[in-house]
Amino acid sequence: MGREPYIPSEQHIETAYQGALKGLTEVQIAESIGIGRSTFQRHKDAFRGAIKKARAESVDPNCDRVEDSLLKEATGYEFQETHIEQIKEKKTGKVTAEKIKIITKWFRPNPLSMVFYLINKRSDLWQSIHKVDVVGNVDNVSDRFKEISKIMRERDLGGKSEDAPKTATRPDPDTKSVP
């Protein structure tokens, strides 16, 4: 006779919830419950609500720190460095004192951090990809483009056709011509 069919208990669902709060993967959650991956997949519907709820509730405590650091790097910041200088006696070379210098420096804003922050926080205004809606007939765009290109070339060439012979360049006065 085979095993009894697995039925997820309330305790297993709670274990899945706690595991998801900790950021465990589904494989790790299945291991913590004591079931195999395939069993977990077959009964995923029973765990889905608990895992979804936990993922929505869980906030990685480092996310706020990383976000603050990103904002700090995007806007620039001031920091201090401590330098210790040893003062030595000239004759013996023995250290007689230490001089502590505190130097204030400025970390300039990082444009890449600015862009990354704005794309993620103000995606309505800062997008990497912009959609352009084209209205009207676009069947003859290629022909229209060729026509505009021809007009621009003619304008740049002063009304002359590209097929017209090129004018000779004026000889350099410093260069002597040999007959």
DSSP 50-100: HHHHHHHH---HHHHHHHHHHHHHHH-EEEEEEEEEEEE-TTT--EEEEEE
* pLDDT at residue 126 is higher than 60: yes
Above pLDDT 70, what percent of the chain? 79
Three-state DSSP at 29 gives helix
Average pLDDT, stretch 144-162? 76
| pTM score above 0.75 | no
Average pLDDT, stretch 131-149? 74
What residues are paired with 105 via a beta bridge? 79
pLDDT in tens, 53-91: 888 887 666 777 888 899 999 999 999 999 999 888 888
Three-state DSSP at 107 gives strand
Q: Give the pLDDT of residue 159.
A: 56
Q: Give the pLDDT of residue 142.
A: 76
* Amino acid, single-letter form, for residue 169: T
Which of 40, 21, 38, 20 lies closest to 30 in space, CA to CA?
Answer: 40
| Rounded-to-integer distance, Cα 45 and Cα 39, Å | 11
Confidence of residue 172 (pLDDT cuts 50, 70, 90): low
Give the Cβ contact number of residue 173 at 10 Å. 6
pLDDT in tens, 7-61: 889 999 999 999 888 888 889 999 999 999 899 998 988 988 898 888 888 766 6
